[in-house]
Amino acid sequence: MIAHGHRVQPVYIASDLVWQAAELAALRGLLAAMQTAALAPLVVLKLPLEDIYQDHWSLTGAEIPGAESPDEAVYLPGRNALLLIKAALWCHRRGIERVALGVLGTSPFADAKSAFFDHFQAAINLATGARIEFLRPLARATKQDVMRLGRTMPLERTFSCLAPHVGLHCGVCNKCTERRRAFQVAEIPDRTVYQSDPVSAG
């Protein structure tokens, strides 16, 4: 977005999920490494979900989807609506009219599709009188495409683990497996420090 001439306000939605501390630390490191006049300081908005998610693995850390689990296993109920509602309202109150979310074209979930964004955008604008536009700059991209797009950035500082251990990527969850594979397929050296390696079949 910065490369396309936008001023960018990063927003993090803090829902106290098990990876939050590691993810937030990684995000702060990534933003520090990317520092430029067009990048505003991070805003953290609270949206605790323990009363809704209760015994969900994203809160308990138990039975985290592993390496062999399908993409569908990592569904978080209402995820994109939850991310967007606070970000959109925060932006609306400050006169920011574009809200970008990095959902991928390969996401299998209904709340990652155009119909959801069109309807949710219309509902928020109807409710508030805002003219918010949801942007999905990665909507046609695969994970590998994103890696290639960001190959000049410090990709090892990005974060995508469901079960981090002392701040490190676990190396064996669904998202770590996807991450490792994307680095391999994109032929980009993976400088991520993983807590452990997957058990080798041979």
Given 173, 182, 183, 186, the residue binding Zn ion (CB under 5 A): 173
Residue type, 45: L
Output the smallest distance, CB 170 to Zn ion, in A: 3
- Collapsing DSSP to helix, strand or coil, 143 comes out as helix
74 or 173, CB closer to Zn ion? Answer: 173
Q: How far apart are CA 65 and CA 73, in angstroms?
A: 6
Binding mask 120-159 for Zn ion (x = CB under 5 A): ----------------------------------------
CA distances from 64 to 19, 172, 173, 195 (A): 11, 10, 7, 15
Provide the b/e sequence for 96-122 (b: ≥16 CB within 10 Å).
Answer: beebbbebeeebeeebbbeebbeebbe
Given 18, 124, 170, 186, the residue binding Zn ion (CB under 5 A): 170
Query: Rule CB under 5 A: is residue 64 a binding residue for Zn ion?
Result: no
155 or 170, CB closer to Zn ion? Answer: 170
- Does residue 174 contact residue 124 with C-beta atoms inside 8 Å? no
92 or 157, CB closer to Zn ion? Answer: 157
Q: Which residues bind Zn ion (CB under 5 A)?
A: 161, 170, 173, 176
